[in-house]
Amino acid sequence: MSVDITCGKCGEKISTMQMLKSVKDVMKHYNNKCPSCGQVLSVTEFLLDVEKK
Ligand SMILES: [Zn+2]
């Protein structure tokens, strides 16, 4: 299973996790901002696409 974290504002794929970790830890790595558009993101503004394989 992999989880894509996508910016809810611009649609940029920010990160892909191989397992479901804390989304907040990933956001902290990016200073809670989208690296593409600079939009400050909250958890609810991330789109999580979970693909079961
Ligand atoms: Zn963005």
46 Cα: distance to centroid of ligand 1 (angstroms): 9
CA of 12 to the centre of ligand 1 (A): 5
pLDDT of residue 47: 64
Q: What is the pLDDT of residue 36?
A: 93
Residue 24: what pLDDT? 76
Helix (H) or strand (E) holding 21: none
Residue boundaries of the structural domains of the chain: 2-51
Distance, in Å, from the CA atom of 40 to the CA atom of 26, rounded to the nearest integer, reads: 13
- Separation of 1 CA from ligand 1 center, angstroms? 24
Ligand 1 centroid–CA 43 distance in Å is 13
pLDDT given at position 40: 87
| Ligand 1 centroid to residue 53 C-alpha, Å | 27
Give pLDDT tens digits for 1-53: 777 888 888 989 888 877 666 777 888 888 988 999 998 877 666 666 666 66
Distance (Å, rounded) from C-alpha 18 to C-alpha 35? 20
